[in-house]
Amino acid sequence: MSLVPFDDRDGWIWLDGQFVPWRDAKVHVLTHGLHYASSVFEGERMYNGEIFELRAHTERLFKSAEILDFRIPFTVEEIDEACKQTCEKNGLTDCYIRPIAWRGSEMIGVSAQQTKIHVAIAVWDWPSYFDPEEKKRGIRLAHALYRRPDPATAPTDAKAAGLYMICTISKHAAERDGYADALMRDYRGYIAEATGANVFLVRDGVIHTPTPDAFLNGITRQTVMKLAGERGYQIIERHIPFEELGTFSELFITGTAAEVTPVAEVGEFRFTPGTISLTLMDDYARLVRGQVPAMA
| Pair 280, 147 in one domain | yes
| Pair 109, 143 in one domain | no
Q: Which of 78, 100, 124 is the last residue of a domain?
A: 124
Query: Does 4 reside within a domain?
Result: no
Query: Does 26 reside within a domain?
Result: yes
Query: Does 171 reside within a domain?
Result: yes
Residue 254: give its domain's CATH number: 3.20.10.10
pLDDT at 293: 67
Q: Which of 124, 149, 174 is the last residue of a domain?
A: 124
Per run of 10 residues, the mean pLDDT along the chain (length 296 residues) is: 85 98 97 98 97 98 98 98 98 97 97 97 85 81 98 97 98 97 98 98 98 98 98 98 98 96 97 96 94 68
| Pair 106, 136 in one domain | no
Contact 285, 293 (CB under 8 A): no
pLDDT at 4: 86
CB-CB neighbours of 124 under 10 Å = 15
In the chain the beta strands, taken as DSSP E runs, fall at 12-15, 18-21, 39-41, 44-47, 50-51, 95-103, 117-124, 139-143, 181-185, 191-194, 198-203, 206-210, 235-238, 250-255, 259-266, 269-270
Query: Does 73 reside within a domain?
Result: yes
| Pair 157, 269 in one domain | yes
Going by C-alpha positions, the residue among 276, 142, 148 that lies closest to residue 211 is 148
| Pair 168, 281 in one domain | yes
Domain, as residue range, for 164: 132-288
Query: Does 23 reside within a domain?
Result: yes
User: In angstroms, rounded to a whole number, what is the distance separating the alpha carbons of residues 63 and 44?
Assistant: 16
| Pair 212, 138 in one domain | yes
| Pair 140, 223 in one domain | yes
Query: Does 218 reside within a domain?
Result: yes
pLDDT at 291: 87
Residue 73: give its domain's CATH number: 3.30.470.10
Query: Does 170 reside within a domain?
Result: yes
| Pair 107, 137 in one domain | no
Query: Does 96 reside within a domain?
Result: yes
| Pair 172, 262 in one domain | yes
User: In angstroms, rounded to a whole number, what is the distance separating the alpha carbons of residues 17 and 118?
Assistant: 9
Active-site amino acid positions: 159
* DSSP states of 92-144: -SSEEEEEEEEE-SS--SS--TTPPEEEEEEEE----SS-HHHHHH-EEEEE-
Q: How many structural domains are present in the chain?
A: 2
| Pair 207, 256 in one domain | yes
Contact 205, 235 (CB under 8 A): no
pLDDT at 135: 75
| Pair 61, 203 in one domain | no
| Pair 98, 31 in one domain | yes
Q: Which of 124, 159, 190 is the last residue of a domain?
A: 124
Angle value at C-alpha 108, between 106 and 111, nearest 5 degrees:
100
Euclidean distance between the first and the last CA atom of the chain, given in angstroms as a whole number: 40
